[in-house]
Amino acid sequence: MPGMLPNIEGYGRRPDGTLKGPGFFGTLKRPDRKVSTELSIGLNIGGKETLVPSLIPSLTQEELDYLLGGGKMTSEIARKAAEFARKRMAQGLSPFMQAGEELP
């Protein structure tokens, strides 16, 4: 079905061992010719260290380009990632794009 996530086996694993997926933007090329899909970061959410994606729909194009270019995590990007993760988790969803979800 168009727009649906493909099988996520080919994206490798996150630091916690869970399977990576194509993220909310799909596979993005970086200036170093490698690719990124999620750029996972650990944040304190509800008093617990939680792995969340930093490549999220609420980023500006400038922030997205900054991260893909190898920029260090900023407090504003981390804040946006935490807010996005909290909203998804409150809806009973993983902070990460899951198989069966449509790409934005």
Q: What is the pLDDT of residues 38-76, one digit of tens each?
A: 999 999 998 999 999 999 999 999 999 999 999 999 999
Give 42's strand partners.
Answer: 51
pTM over cut 0.85? no
What was the pLDDT predicted at 12? 80
What was the pLDDT predicted at 99? 75
Q: Residue 22: phi, psi to the nearest 5?
A: -75, 0
Residue 16, amino acid: D
Alpha-carbon distance values, 28 to 12, 24, 99 (Å): 15, 10, 18
Look up residue 10 and give its DSSP letter. G
